[in-house]
């Protein structure tokens, strides 16, 4: 009921979305789910604190993530520092490429994201300029569509063409230039060791691949995981809690044999059905379609079983926390969105008042990261596969005749020997053919900068059959990466609704958090201020502590209706009201239904419904319902 | 038995301590409890990763801390960013005072901590120079004793006097100068907003005091807590895992009425008895004494009940994790060690191979922090106390006679009125006396830069009795601050021992972690490689997962003794060996005793002993013991 009114409000116009967002954020900030960081000093854009209930929600999300992924899949969890030396992020490509294009107000030096200014200009024009020609409308829409892919030059040209100026001063703007989004620092006192705050946790796992592979008994596949802070020095953070400068990531790197990306547990998720938005549908301007995961993998829409398995597990993870199935989709990256080395990428996108928001990235990054660190560190980050039976492999054998080469080329002999040994198979076979047909052949020696003439007796080239017992290869990595704060913000929006007070004069806010997510599982209220009831409330509190249920007692004299409203706003799923010394009522937040349970049983009943052994529907049958006459409720 | 051999080894000479440390650290690094960060790039001094078992140990310590403090005491947990703007750390004093004295090699620019060089020189001299005069010996010892308090000038003078040069090059050294230990960075793209990585988590709580106080219903006392990363850019990190550049802190700020630092739950810890090392005993060069906590507070050795309560709770916390009671003491800060504003400070110190290490600081910081931020931010961080009955308070009333002042001083009237109203009580009473005795009096008006003469009719000064309903004050803060990594390192040392293999040819390493701390609670081994046993092992694994017990299956064909040794080295407290399809054995790590339990019961027995409902001693009576003939064990 309330759900539907909320959804219809959501899908309404831009204004109602903003009003909804305002209502959610007012509640969140008033109840300290979050606090703008360093607020008494007027804050810092893009930095937020989690206040007490937000902190509990975050701890619940992280604990469930650890349970759902790390423990369930026996992943190797690591915990690496945020401070990272430059060499690591040079190898990963972040020092050179982790940039946004920026323009400066030429007079004040104020900085803006170039694409934001262009986007705002186009949107504004499209919304407000009623005299635009159809061609102009098309042009502006086209600019918006390709915004993410414009080069610095193209962006600069558009800004000039449209005459865009600094929004705050109307001053002219500089040309766009790349600004690196990593927070820079210096490690140690010398000032000679540049470092950065990590922009992601993944690199800490990649550089440890060798040790982790050994720890896993030198066996593939295995996954490592890390939960921790990451940092992006955004040029001008917008979109409140969605685009921040410091955030918590939970990342998995699943290392797998590139020739075998099957997954033994894929069958457990193959029958899940949810929205996929494949590259094909996007290109055809179609909508996402609901499809069986098994079918999407079988058809090749999703590249492989392991990637498919993680997509399925992520669907289960997000919906268990309270994300609505209908407002969740997995969108495949378009070819030009994807890094050149990636085999396939999907984003879990969640719809909220800001639109569809990327909350989880699931990418098959092939062997890129391990190869990059192997090259830069000279430590081979590779896996070994021992064949059950030795395999016969054709091998190229190049044997330069050093004596003949020495006689012919004197001091250049060494360079020529090295060049011969460095030939690719194709080059060698071509040289061999040439020598055999002509008796001699030209041979280019790069290191000498000249081409020499070789004769048949100077090198022997052949292919031999050799027995191999193992092969060495760089594993592929499949990376599910979770933006914890973004998921939490979307959960807030999906769980929020309002309902009128009984008198109809007020709107009450409710967060319909599932017990798993709720910051506090239960409150205990003595119905009236009265010593006997308070003693009973304390008794119940002790048994709840014993059962490991987080809860709060509220002994203020406020009306029971007000107290319910207060806990509904924190998303507390159950409220125990003490109205006698022998039995009490338990009220469920969303239905407002109440049951009567004995004081002895109450903790175990609450435990059952918060830990998921039973649903509220189950216990509703077992205990007498209680109807209240309180006007407030 | 083993415990004693370990302790006696520990208390032996410096060499045996180092050998012990080496053995612990070899095991820790080999089993990936920790990994030097960015190892494939030759690492960065003072940065370490937690590998899989270390990460699990850390998660256990943090979960227990949250249970023991946050949930038990209903604390308000918050989670603030690491990146902090300069203004916050300017107010807290860190920008100006969070420094170490550094010297530079004048030729190479290499940096050293000045006190380290002087310390090394003195120690080395005392150890190796056998010809030192008794006077010289005394002098060097005296220098070591006051090392922490030497000014830059005094340190520089000593370095010159002793002719200390750069250890690596023997080049001359610069004069000592302060180096700020915070990692500096810049927030946003302009380069105009300096920031730092927080050196502690506490400031994030202080700046939120106003909101948290409101959240707590405007009531004192209450505590806020935060767990998170903190950073110190050490000049030259030494002491391995103890002095690092990035670490996890768990901090509590308990806000309390400065006039009432009693604690309702103090009685729960008053009977604990453990080692206190008071200021008095330290000054008298005596040893720490074992004393009842209640007595220490009653005698005033510990300043107040709330500080005493946290000391007691911290004793319980550390010993529950596995810190040895006899190697734990609470040492009071000496007067000159303590910040001038602090009322009392105690460090929980744990003995390990590096000596006594400060792992928890417990300080009554009075109102310092809240006052500092109130002043800098101009936001009053104060509490209100409403009196049960209004109180009569004597109040100074100054009433300037504006008409008379206007007639006499014209346009200067306003300044004089303001100056009169701004007088302190002492100034006002002096002026009143002067006016009454002489009829007129000189009055200095700073804002005018002159002294005017006032007559009796120009101002009335009196004291009146007023009724006050509340008072406004700055709360005191009691701060327990936990270095999570240091506690974990000391736990590793306290839990480590070696024992010979049965054959006597090898030493096996064991971590005697209590189940609460152990990274994995239990392993499951099929006795021999055999499909039936493996199926049973998988069945047991499922029931362990159901019971929420973290565990590992080891189906390698390695001998059972080797497999036990492998899990002992990870500190796994219980091993289940599958030697039939109906019943299995459970082995306890330290006693190596085994009991035989049915397959159906095994998970619930392991749950009992790992979650603390029963001890191993309890279950040993209930089940038949099992004796093994395996040569390995």
pLDDT digits (tens, 9 = 90+) for A519-568: 999 999 999 888 899 999 999 999 998 888 989 998 887 888 889 999 99
Task: Please name every residue paired with B240 in a beta bridge, in sequence order, or none if there are none.
Answer: none
| Local structure of A407: helix, strand or coil | helix
Instruction: Give percent of chain A with pLDDT exceeding 70.
Output: 97
Residue contact A186–B190, C-beta within 8 A: no
Instruction: Tell me the CA distances in angstroms from A19 to A24, A30, A412, one per residue in order.
Output: 9, 16, 79
Lowest-confidence region among A3-12, A189-198, A284-293, B614-623: A3-12
Q: Which of A419, A459, A463 is nearest to A439 (CA)?
A: A459
Per-residue pLDDT tens for B505-532?
888 999 999 999 999 999 999 998 888 9
Give Cβ neighbours of residue A519 (< 8 Å, ≥ 6 apart).
A52, A53, A54, A55, A56, A57, A60, A513, A550, A570, A571, A572
- Write b or e for each residue in B292-324: b if 16 or more Cβ atoms lie within 10 A of its Cβ, otherwise e: ebbebbeeebbbbbbbbbbbbbbbebbeebbbb
Nearest to B206 by CA among B181, B223, B182, B227: B223
- Give the 3-state DSSP-derived string for B328-342, with helices as H, strands as E and coil as C: EEEEECCCCCCCCCC
Q: What number of other Cβ atoms are within 10 A of residue A232's Cβ?
A: 20
Query: In chain B, which stretches have pLDDT less than 70?
Result: 1-15, 628-633
What average pLDDT does the segment A74-83 reach?
96
Sorted by sequence, the CB contacts under 8 Å of residue B99 that are 6+ apart come out as B178, B179, B180, B181
pLDDT band at A15 (very low <50, low <70, confident <90, very high): low
- Residues in chain B within 8 Å Cβ distance of A47: 81, 83
Instruction: Report the distance separating Cα B138 and Cα B19, nearest Å.
Output: 30
Q: Could you tell me the end-to-end alpha-carbon distance of chain A, in angstroms, rounded to an integer?
A: 17
- Chain A nearest-CA distance from B25, in A, is 16
Let me know how many helices (H) and strands (E) chain A has, helices first.
Answer: 23, 28
Question: Looking at beta carbons, which residues of chain B come within 8 Å of A211?
Answer: 32, 35, 39, 51
Q: Where are the beta strands (DSSP E) in B293-382?
A: 328-332, 344-352, 355-364
Give the side-chain half-sphere CA count within 13 A for A466. 11
- Give the Cβ contact number of residue B99 at 10 Å: 16
Radius of gyration for chain A, computed over Cα atoms and rounded to the nearest angstrom = 32
Tokens of B605: 């027995």
Which of B37, B80, B81 shows the shortest C-beta gap to A81? B37
CA separation, residue A376 to residues A192, A242, A369 (Å)? 20, 34, 11
Whether B215 sits inside 8 A of A32 (CB atoms) is yes
3-class secondary structure for A182-231?
A: CCEEECCCCCCCEEEECCCCHHHHHCCHHHHHHHCCCCCCEEEEEEEEEE
B208 CA: distance to closest CA in chain A (Å): 8
Check whether A11 has a pLDDT greater than 80: no
- Asked if B233's CB is within 8 angstroms of A187's CB, the reply is yes
The span from the CA of A488 to the CA of A322, in Å, is: 10
Is there a cis peptide before residue B221, judged by omega within 30 degrees of 0? Answer: yes
Among B28, B112, B188, B541, the strongest candidate for a mutation testing the A interface, having the largest count of A CBs within 10 A, is B188
Closest chain B CA to residue A225: B52
Query: pLDDT-derived band of residue A285, with 50, 70 and 90 as boundaries?
Result: confident
Which of B66, B69, B83 has the highest number of chain A CBs within 10 A, making it the mutation to test binding with A? Answer: B83
Mean pLDDT of A489-504: 92
Q: CA of A109, closest CA in chain B: separation in Å?
A: 7
pLDDT of the residue at B629: 54
DSSP codes of every residue in A35-84? EETTGGGT--TT-EEE-HHHHHHHHHHHHHHIIIIIITTT-EE-B--SEE
Contacts of B212 (CB under 8 A, 6+ apart): A32, A51, A52, B76, B78, B205, B222, B224
Which chain B residue shows the shortest CA-CA distance from A100? B189
Please answer yes or no on whether B81 and A37 come within 8 Å at the CB atom: yes
Distance CA B576, CA B25 (A): 28
From the list A37, A80, A236, the residue facing B49 with the nearest CB is A80
Tokens read off for A324: 């609505």
Whether A32 and B109 lie within 8 Å, measured CB to CB: no
Q: Which residues of A touch B55 (CB under 8 A)?
A: 77-79
Whether the Cβ atoms of residue A460 and residue A401 lie closer than 8 Å to each other: yes
Q: Do A111 and B188 touch (CB under 8 A)?
A: yes
Q: What secondary structure letter does DSSP report for A176? A: P
pLDDT value, residue A632: 45
Which contacts (CB < 8 Å, 24+ apart) does range B266-269 have?
A: B266/B294, B266/B297, B266/B305, B266/B306, B266/B308, B266/B309, B266/B312, B268/B312, B269/B293, B269/B308, B269/B309, B269/B312, B269/B313, B269/B315, B269/B316
User: What pTM was estimated for this model as a whole?
Assistant: 0.88
CA–CA separation, A255 and A475 (whole Å): 6
Written as six digits, the tokens of B565 are 């040794």
- pLDDT tens-digit map of A412-469: 898 899 889 888 888 899 999 999 999 999 998 888 888 999 999 999 998 888 888 8
Percent of chain A with pLDDT over 90: 74
Given pLDDT bands bounded at 50, 70 and 90, which one contains residue A12?
A: very low
What whole-number distance in Å separates Cα of residue B381 and Cα of residue A538?
32
* B contacts of A233 (beta carbons < 8 Å): 186-189
- Contact between residue A589 and residue A575 where contact means Cβ atoms under 8 Å apart: yes
- Residue A245's φ and ψ, nearest 5 degrees, are -90, -15
Indicate the residue of A184, A215, A556 with minimum beta-carbon distance to B185. A184
Q: Which of B88, B179, B211 is facing A41, going by the closest CB pair?
A: B88
Give burial (CB, 10 Å; 0-12/13-18/19+) of A77: buried
Section A305-322 average pLDDT? 98
Parallel, antiparallel, or unpaired: how do β-strands B328-332 and B273-277 relate? parallel
How much is the pLDDT for A501?
83
A316 min Cα distance to partner chain B (Å): 19
Of A37, A102, A552, the CB nearest to B189: A102
Residue with tokens 């050795």: B301
Dihedral angle at the C-alpha atoms of A119, A123, A125, A126, nearest 10 degrees?
140
Residue partners of A531: CB distance under 8 A and separation at least 6: none
Q: What is the largest CA-CA distance in chain A?
A: 111
**Nearest in space to A271 (alpha carbons), one of A252, A255, A294:** A294
Burial (CB count within 10 angstroms: exposed 0-12, middle 13-18, buried 19+), residue B113? buried
Angstrom distance (rounded) from CA A123 to CA A117: 10
Tell whether the model's pLDDT for residue A3 goes beyond 90. Answer: no
Sign of CA dihedral B597, B601, B607, B609: negative
Separation CA A157–CA B509 (nearest Å): 68
Say if CB B574 and CB B586 are below 8 A apart.
yes
**DSSP-derived 3-state class of residue A580:** coil
CB A559 within 8 A of CB A632: yes
CA distances from B539 to B140, B555, B605 (A): 67, 14, 15
If one counts every other C-beta atom within 10 angstroms of the C-beta of residue B151, the result is 10
pLDDT tens per residue, range A226-245: 999 999 999 988 888 999 99
Q: Of A37, A87, A111, which is closest to B41 when you measure between CB atoms?
A: A87
Asked whether this complex has an ipTM greater than 0.85, the answer is yes
Instruction: Tell me how far apart the alpha carbons of residues B110 and B1 are, in angstroms, rounded to a whole number.
Output: 48
CA dihedral for B243, B245, B248, B250, sign (positive or negative)? positive
3-state secondary structure of A100: strand
Fill in the DSSP letter of residue A420. H
Q: Please indicate whether, in this complex, the C-beta atoms of B111 and A211 are within 8 angstroms of each other.
A: no
CA distance A398 to A168: 69
Closest in A52, A189, A217 to B102, CB measured: A189
Mean pLDDT for A509-514 is 97
**Is B46 within 8 Å of B243 (Cβ atoms)?**
yes
Helical axes B14-30 vs B484-495, angle rounded to 10°: 110
Closest by Cα among B310, B306, B251 to B481:
B251
- Within its chain, how far is the Cα of A148 from the centroid? 19
Write out chain B residues lying below 8 Å of A81, CB-based: 37, 47-49, 245-246
The DSSP element (H or E) to which B585 belongs, if any, is: strand B583-588
């Amino acid at each position: 009921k309330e759900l539907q009114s909320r959804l219809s409000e959501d899908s309404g116009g831009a204004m109602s979305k903003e009003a909804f967002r305002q209502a959610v954020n007012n509640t969140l900030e008033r109840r300290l789910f979050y606090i703008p960081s360093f607020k008494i000093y007027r804050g810092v854009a893009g930095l937020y604190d989690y206040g007490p209930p937000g902190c509990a929600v975050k701890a619940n999300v992280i604990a469930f993530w650890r349970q759902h992924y790390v423990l369930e899949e026996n992943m190797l969890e690591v915990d690496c520092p945020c401070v990272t030396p430059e060499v690591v992020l040079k190898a990963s490509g972040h020092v050179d490429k982790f940039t946004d294009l920026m323009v400066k107000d030429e007079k004040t030096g104020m900085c803006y994201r170039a694409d934001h200014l262009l986007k705002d200009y186009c949107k504004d024009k499209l919304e407000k300029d009623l005299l635009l020609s159809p061609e102009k409308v098309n042009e502006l829409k086209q600019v918006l569509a390709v915004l993410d892919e414009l080069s610095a030059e193209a962006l600069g040209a558009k800004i000039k063409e449209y005459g865009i100026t600094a929004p705050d001063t109307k001053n002219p703007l500089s040309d766009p230039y790349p600004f690196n989004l990593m927070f820079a620092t210096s490690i140690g006192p010398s000032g000679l060791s540049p470092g950065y705050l990590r922009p992601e946790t993944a690199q800490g796992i990649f550089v440890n691949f060798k040790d982790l592979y050994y720890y896993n008994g030198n066996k593939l596949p295995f996954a490592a995981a890390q939960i921790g802070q990451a940092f992006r020095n955004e040029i001008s953070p917008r979109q409140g809690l969605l685009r921040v400068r410091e955030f918590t990531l939970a990342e998995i790197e699943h290392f797998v044999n590139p020739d075998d990306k099957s997954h033994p547990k894929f069958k457990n998720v193959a029958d899940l059905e949810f929205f996929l938005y494949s590259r094909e549908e996007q290109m055809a301007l179609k909508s996402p379609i609901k499809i069986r995961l098994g079918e999407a993998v079988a058809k090749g829409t999703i590249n492989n079983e392991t990637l498919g398995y993680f997509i399925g597990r992520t669907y289960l993870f997000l919906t268990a926390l309270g994300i609505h199935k209908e407002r969740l989709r997995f969108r495949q990256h378009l070819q030009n969105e994807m890094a050149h080395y990636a085999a396939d990428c999907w984003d879990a996108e969640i719809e909220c008042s800001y639109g569809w928001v990327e909350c989880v990235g699931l990418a098959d990054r092939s062997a890129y990261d391990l190869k990059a660190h192997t090259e830069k560190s000279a430590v081979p980050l590779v896996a070994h596969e021992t064949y059950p039976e030795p395999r016969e492999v054709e091998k190229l054998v190049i044997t330069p005749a050093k004596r003949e080469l020495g006689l012919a080329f004197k001091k250049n002999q060494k360079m020529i020997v090295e060049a011969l040994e460095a030939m690719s198979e194709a080059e060698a076979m071509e040289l061999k053919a040439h020598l055999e047909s002509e008796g001699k052949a030209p041979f280019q020696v790069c290191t000498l900068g000249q081409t020499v003439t070789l004769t048949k007796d100077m090198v022997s080239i052949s292919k031999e059959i050799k027995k191999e017992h193992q092969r060495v290869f760089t594993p592929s990595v499949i990376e599910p990466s979770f933006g914890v704060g973004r998921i939490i913000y979307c959960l807030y929006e999906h769980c929020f609704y309002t309902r009128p007070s009984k008198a109809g004069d007020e709107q009450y806010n409710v967060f319909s958090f599932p017990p798993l997510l709720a910051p506090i599982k239960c409150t205990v209220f003595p119905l009236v201020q009265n010593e006997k009831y308070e003693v009973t409330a304390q008794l119940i509190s002790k048994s709840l502590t014993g059962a490991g249920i987080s809860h709060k007692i509220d002994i203020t004299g406020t009306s029971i209706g007000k107290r319910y409203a207060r806990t509904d706003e924190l998303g507390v799923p159950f409220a125990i009201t003490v109205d006698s010394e022998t039995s009490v009522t338990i009220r469920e937040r969303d239905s407002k239904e109440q049951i009567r349970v004995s004081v002895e049983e109450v903790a175990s009943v609450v435990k059952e419904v918060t830990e998921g052994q039973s649903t509220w529907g189950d216990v509703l049958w077992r205990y007498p319902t209680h109807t209240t006459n309180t006007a407030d409720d």
